[in-house]
Structure 1
Amino acid sequence: MAMKVKELAGLVGISVRTLHYYDEIGLLSPEETTDSGYRLYSNENLEMLQQILFFRELDMPLKEIKQMISSTSFDKQEALRQHQKMLLEKRSQLDKLINTVDKSIKHMKGEIQMTDKEKFEGFDFSQNPYEEEARERWGDKAVDESKAKVAGMSKDAQKIVSDIYIKLASIRNASPESEEAQKAIKEWYDCLNNNFGTYSPEAFKGLGQMYVDDQRFTKNIDQYGDGLAKFMCDAMGHFADANKN
């Protein structure tokens, strides 16, 4: 039985505007549009919407979802198996984070002692939650090159990234202009250029500003320690000003 857009939105729990937008970009078009302008969605539309929302739950950009489901080789059952696999991996990471929170509470109460490494178990920065926005700002080529570098990173390189964040978090109460802070932030500058693309000092400073201007970045970075985003922004700004060509 065909469903109108308002009925479908109510069933799924998303907005009518979202369904309209999916139609506008050709991601999910209704099976039929009546002479009166009503969008009517079929059972097949519902199945495809489920696929789309599974992909969105895994933070996949709409552009990539559209390319995938529009492919002649797209297999719904295989896609569901992949969804299941990735969701299980996501659940495993969340379990680790919950365990880290539990241990942190006990640590604060003095019931146990946590090592610095244990304080950050479960965090995963291999996936970029801002990829879609980055593509809009800097284009597909720059993002694809960056992702290729990330995919090719060795475990040693990934450990370097984690160690830099931990080091910066440990000195975040020092002056961002101090020798210690500038030495650590240079490690971050070199790490970005070696693994994620090409950053001029000016671009590096702009990135640091985004850490405080965009609350999503701030929240993500401050998981390592309250105030870390602001500290990194100030340290990156000072570093960039001191290293202008």
Structure 2
Amino acid sequence: MMTVNEVSQLTGVSIRALHYYDQIGLLPAAGHTDSGYRLYDDAALERLQQILLFRELEFSLKDIQRILENSAFDRKMALEQQITLLTLKKQHLEALIALAEKLQKAGGSIMDFTAFDTQKIKDYAAQAKQQWGATPEYKEYEEKTAHKTVKETADMGSQLMAILAVFGTMQTKDPAAPEVQAQVKKLQDFISAHYYTCSKMILNQLGQMYAAGGAFTENINAAGGPGTAEFAQKAIAIYCKE
């Protein structure tokens, strides 16, 4: 685990920015010291790499958060898109350098503005964003959060995490127990009310994602205690089979 200061020194991201990413739910800390200072694990650093790659490609924080929280998010596919976009940016910079060198050698103006054209980059970036937002659920989420403030969005994420954390207090029970299943229903209803219509199929996918390791698992277990994410996934699986 690394402190926020160590992460800042390692990545070049300011401590203020890391605090902000945590506050809006984009990069939650994996834990806290006894004094309340944020701590980050390997999963959090991996997520930070994804955030920084998207930022290099000039994606907004809102777009990045929506992409990373999309239940269909595929890291391998995202990396392929990022590599393509970065390659396009590289080609654009090389074209600008070549034009500048021509101008330097010519000692005068050259009426060539093709090197300034960034439409190809814009088109591919728009396509990538649209791909992650192509599902009806994503569009519904966009509509429901369009007018929410950063604080409202962060509070919504905190409420969702609080619902998930309750599963940690239920681990001595059978995941099929009525009270546990009632908590799953509460989770489903909350997602439907604040994010998008959460069908049993989608809920089951979310449950698998919660327990699949990485930032989601770490954050849920940090909130509810070890094993919370895995227990929640079992309860969700039972609920979705009914």
TM-score, structure 1 length as denominator?
0.47
TM-score, structure 2 length as denominator?
0.48
Kindly indicate whether structure 1 or structure 2 has the higher relative contact order, using CA contacts under 8 Å at least 6 residues apart.
2
